[in-house]
Structure 1
Amino acid sequence: MNRLKKSIKIRTAEILLGFFILIGGNSLAFHSGSFIVNFNKVGFSLVSSVQEGVASIFGYGKKFITAIHDVVVLQKEYQALTEKLKDYEYMQRSNTEIRKENERLKEQLQFATDLEYKNIAAQIIGRNPDNLYSGITIGKGSRSGIRKGMPVIAIQNGNVGVVGKVVTVGISTSLVMPIYDTKCNISARIQNTRDIGIASGSGSYDSPIMLNYIRKRVLDDFNHGDLVVSSGENDNYMKDIPIGRISKITVLDYDSSLEIEVDPVIDFMRLENVLVVDHKHGNDRPPMSDDMSAKKKENE
């Protein structure tokens, strides 16, 4: 028991000695400043590391935000360029269409000026390609001098052709019966042989014109592809206006005449402008000047 008490006293003394030594060392360190300097170094290192980490995080965040902003800007610029490209392509198509329209109008003007008869240019504003009833509406009427029965022709891709005749006249519009109408009959000739017949419509714009009353005995005198023109008889059409070209010849045993199919020279579904001809009166338009003719040749 006495030994245990003595041991405890010794240990207590040792603990107290160590505690006083630690306190004394700390006091000495504080007074000398060495402890404060070490603490500052450690604190500076920790703070610097934290600051560096925070700066890196903010730096990456800033780069990420900048990248997103750049992507958004690029997308907007791409969309703007795409719209500009569309506008450019539209303008290019429009310019091409305008040039083609000008070429068609120049061609029509030249032909209208050279035509010996008075004529009125008109634009097609409606059509009814029905097999039972076909009609083409043009945007000119009695106010422009159009009368019922006037022949209608057109120039298309450099080819002049018969379109039909005026059957109804309003103040500012007129109705034209095209040559493919079943009620339309035109006195016609085969241009090479001058054989005369009647050209009649089949009822549809994509069907051939039928040339009837051509005798069998002249079969060897003409061929496929020969041109059929208006005869000028009966005073309903001018002479030698192209109608179409022979595409098929059929010999009928029970008939003394040939059955001849003619493809129209005019593509009616692409037709936009026509000339209504007053073949009772001469053309009073002044001829094109030499400068205009020269320019036309240059364009050609």
Structure 2
Amino acid sequence: MTSLAVLCSRVRFEEKQIFAALERRRVPYSQVDTRRLIAEVSGKTRADAPEPAVALNREISLSRGLYASLLMEARGVPTVNRADVITVCGDKLRTSLALERAGLPTPRTTVALTPESGADAAERLGFPVVIKPLAGSWGRLAAVAPDRATAETVLEHRAALPSPQQHIAYLQEFVGKPGRDIRVLVAGDEVIGATYRYGDGWRTNAALGGRSEPCPVTAELAGLARAAARAVGGGVLGVDLIEGPDGLLVLEVNHTVEFQAFQLAHDHAIDVADAIIDHALAAGRVREAS
């Protein structure tokens, strides 16, 4: 019987590390390509296709990842991360609302439901402002608007995009961070570690060429990262923090976290794949082979 199913359509550095750790620990597993996943809504299990004890969702596509978790959970398979967590983390407004309900410090955020009202919202928030898409990663389609004219130009471009979701104006204050932000990896209540992420511009994403360096895990940092992870529902998460003038702020929470830059920054001293597997096995109450 397969103990663990890894849901993914692309095998990146992270998935290779997870597969290697599973093989080293002799945990029976299978890779399930979500592009070929077929599941009956009835939830009935075929005798020739027993369900895994737990599913680890590493799907890069937000839509496929969400529905893959939904289908697994409907069949009684514990899934990391759960569909409700993906729903919150995959939408910046839902994330902001969850963090606000938990009383956590975040940048001031304003939302307008049309591009036309977005410039007024930006002016009310105060320039410069950061305009972000509700869904997306790696800093794509995010822009800093120093004035109303720039905000109108960015929002006019968004209005021309075919997705109605892109027409929602999600705006945040521009926080004068010290040229870096902080990525904290969390698995359940365990803080795996943290890195500073530096960039040449205002964005520090590793996918955009940002560099990572080890960041000390203080009690304040660990407590805030755990609280942010709990606020969105928990699981294996990447919590992004920024250093504001009055202390740490939670920027966002990522549900399918990449960790290649993290491991390189720590010179492989921290095994992220092992921590992820530990959490997944605990969620499925799976015992490793002796």
Give the alignment's TM-score, normalised by structure 1: 0.27
| Larger RCO: 1 or 2 (CA < 8 Å, sep 6+) | 2
Greater fraction helix: 1
Give the alignment's TM-score, normalised by structure 2: 0.28
Higher Rg of the two aligned structures: 1
